[in-house]
Amino acid sequence: MDINFNRTLNYKAARENNDERHICPMSLDITERAIWLWSNPGDTVLTTYAGIGSEMYQALQMGRKAIGFELKRSYFEQAVINCKDGDATTAKQSTLF
């Protein structure tokens, strides 16, 4: 039981007043384990439902590149903030999105 389900990125800022109860922050511990198991440093991690950027953030932290797709503007904007705030942009990728 080494997974901390409470270790997540800031998701509250992306929530809008008319949102359904959809937002579900992903544990960074789970994301880290998946990236470690199925990719190597320098690989590109693709997430087709980027949300607030948990997978991209963790991929950048672990020396991978990241590509993400998100339809909801507030989630996309929060993903950019989360990746920048976590200093994930120091990874070997010149642009995040």
pLDDT at 14: 63
More confident of the two residues 20 and 81: 81
Task: Decide if pLDDT at 34 tops 60.
Answer: yes
| Average pLDDT taken over every residue of the chain | 80
Which pTM was predicted?
A: 0.74
Q: 59-87: string of b/e by CB count within 10 Å (b at 16+)?
A: bbbbebbbbbebebeebbebbbbbbeebe
On whether the CB atoms of residues 9 and 54 are closer than 8 A, the answer is yes
More confident of the two residues 60 and 12: 60
- Please give the C-alpha separations between residue 27 and each of 4, 7, 17, 18, 62, in angstroms, as whole numbers: 7, 5, 24, 24, 15
Task: Decide if pLDDT at 40 tops 90.
Answer: yes
pLDDT at 67: 93
Q: Which domains does the chain have, with CATH numbers?
A: 22-90 (3.40.50.150)
Residue for token pair 């507030």: 74
pLDDT at 63: 94
